[in-house]
A and B are shown apart, each in its own frame.
Chain A
């Protein structure tokens, strides 16, 4: 969890020192009253998006998602809720333009129509010589990328959410009081490289065989946005099942929950009954039945201590877990 720090700088207007809290976006100089816009170390603004659903709604959404995914309603009903945590995941958002030049070599295809003596039309596609072209390109960039490993949360990007939802200036005291704030790990330069690579991949169009180019970002606005996600934990027996729910729209992002169970009582009880009955009839008959049973088991799937123990004592078979998201 990020710790709040107090930073002291000199006012660029009157040069008197004044302090502000880390994460503040605006400050007023106490000496001259000048309003100052503050950005982070590399001129990066930090924002956060407020959660719109509470813990109870997130829990209900998770249970509904299991039922929708084909889970056993009885199993869902008996799931024990272990706890929930609101996590604010950091995402880089880069907006601006990628400008540069792009050299492409693309194939050309011409369609030739021919009519035979019966009037039937035949269309042939004929490949022409490859065309090379160099063009100046300017592509609008709106790129979003996780600033740390968020793979377990099932969230890949928040470009749309960052554009539509109201962003609040980061206040570490307020946000860390609501949940766990994850710190960014990815470097801003890496984000810039990814955004340029994405813009370059979009250039060219159809039929491109080879391409090369050089792009630079211009007019970039890089921001770090903390996005709310509920991390819930359900339990059944000794197993824990994590589920993550989007803190804004309540959509289940990722998780797994137990599948239905099947009782396999007939198999062990019938085997034991027949074996004991055979032994009570005659010991030799009992031994023959036991050997026959072991032989049948070996021929059908192999004989091992695990298989034997499972045959007699695994009375409850759990079906595959329900994967969400």
Chain B
């Protein structure tokens, strides 16, 4: 009779906002999931959320400040165009 100690790594990580655990054998590198992975998940970078929220706030402020419908539409179109090209450049550099 023998008592055998097996080297195992217990890993904790996050997938799509859910905590998951896995055991990895330090002998043959096999991995065993202890918690099931979420079936579907959306990971949203905070930077992207901040971009869209900032854009929305700018529109709300401009919308409240400009009373004339035509002028507001022109202002929105200009902001939209500028935001589109600047966000595009920023995200392309980031991606």
Contacts and interface: CB of A to CB of B under 8 A. Distances in A.
A312 B44 CA distance: 10
Given A152-B29, A277-B63, A270 B95 contact: no
Nearest to A78: B95
Contacts of A281: 69
A281 B79 CA distance: 18
Contact of A312 (B52, B73, B79, B83): B52
A269 B55 contact: yes
Interface stretch (A111-119, A218-226, A260-268): A260-268
Interface stretch (A53-61, A121-129, A313-321): A313-321
B63 A279 contact: yes
A299 interface: no
Contacts of A183: 27
Interface in A237-281: 261, 263, 265-266, 268-270, 272-273, 276-277, 279-281
Contact of B40 (A280, A306, A309, A316): A306
Interface in B1-57: 27-30, 40-42, 44, 48-49, 51-52, 55-56
A149 interface: yes
Contact of A316 (B59, B69, B91): B91
A213 interface: no
B30 A149 contact: yes
Interface residues of B, number: 32
Given A152-B29, A185-B28, A280-B64, A269 B87 contact: yes
Nearest to B60: A276
Contact of A269 (B28, B40, B64, B84): B84
B70 to A, nearest CB: 12
A39 B10 CA distance: 38
Contacts of A273: 59, 76, 79-80
Contact of A261 (B27, B55, B64, B95): B95
A284 to B, nearest CB: 16
Nearest to A270: B80
Interface of A: 148-149, 152, 182-183, 185, 261, 263, 265-266, 268-270, 272-273, 276-277, 279-281, 306, 309-310, 312-316
List the 9 closest pairs (A to B, CB-CB), nearest first: A280-B63, A276-B59, A261-B95, A315-B48, A313-B44, A306-B42, A313-B49, A310-B42, A272-B56
